[in-house]
Amino acid sequence: MVKIPLFTRCIAEFIGTFVLVLGGCGSAVFAAAFPDANANELGIGFVGVSLAFGLTVMTMAYAIAHISGCHLNPAVSFGLWSGKRFPSSDLLPYIVSQVLGAIVAAGLVYLIATGKSGFTLSGSNPLATNGYGVHSPAGYSFIACFITEVVLTFIFLVVILGATDGRAPKGFAPIAIGLSLTLIHLISIPITNTSVNPARSTGPALFAGVELVGQLWMFWVAPILGAILAGIFYSRVLGESGAQIVGEAQPKVVDQAQLK
């Protein structure tokens, strides 16, 4: 296999994360409650936004997984690292690329949103931002939001690690990963507006005001914690080494880039 330069992989991560935030957050801002919250005849609602996030991950996985692994998410990079699927030397470049892609996409969403008369950055979660307490869509507490983000990111990484395991059926990983992200959004949009992705949280928060930026730390700590725990759990319990402990010979685990 030809080794793809780190710069090329980072460009792919930038583009993929840009599409994720534009597709997911853009659908939440422009289409979730169209034409407005009180006359939602044409709006896509929670289900539509959940599908938008899942579809962007699935389509970008088919588009760039063979280049960068299609992480699109610092938590995914940390989870793959803790699961011994990703080198520590590539962590920072990937994360910087993901965050930059998210910021550019969020800036574009903001720019387009300001083109509508009457648009303001008011409400609990403008620009599809993530938050807890008064900035939670349904007013959930910090503890409830923290637990939600840790647990759902843990589940997301278990799906990613399992779907890209060398023992898993080939060619279906993007579908499983996209559908799992859709399910995660269906569960947690009312709670945190669904992060499980520090880059996705950072982009919109930077344009939404100081209060949302002040809560941003939680949407880095909780997803990364859940992802690292998932990586350790999968590698030790469900992965190749875990299977060998119970006496089963297993093929070598492929890396995240072999999604196709």
- What is the per-residue pLDDT for 35? 65
How far out from the chain centre does Cα 196 lie?
Answer: 5
Predicted local distance difference test score (pLDDT) of residue 247? 38
pLDDT in tens, 207-232: 998 889 999 999 999 999 999 999 99
What's the pTM value of the predicted model, to 2 decimals? 0.89
Residue 38: φ, ψ to 5°: -95, -5
Asked if omega into 35 is within 30° of 0 (cis), the reply is yes
Q: Which of 93, 96, 84 minimizes the C-alpha distance to 161?
A: 84
Q: Are 195 and 219 in contact (CB under 8 A)?
A: yes
Report pLDDT digits (tens) over 63-115: 999 999 999 999 999 999 999 999 999 999 999 999 999 999 999 999 999 99
CATH number for 6-245 (one of 1.10.357.10, 1.20.1080.10, 3.30.420.40, 3.40.50.720): it is 1.20.1080.10
Q: How far is CA 82 from CA 74, 135, 157, 253, in A?
A: 12, 31, 11, 14
Residue bearing the bigger pLDDT, 251 or 129: 129
For 240-259, write each residue's pLDDT tens digit: 765 444 433 334 444 444 44
pLDDT band for position 126 (cuts 50, 70, 90): confident
Tokens coding 129: 């931002």
Work out the end-to-end distance of the chain between its first and last CA atoms, rounded to an integer number of angstroms: 14
Q: Dihedrals φ, ψ of 36, to 5°?
A: -160, 175
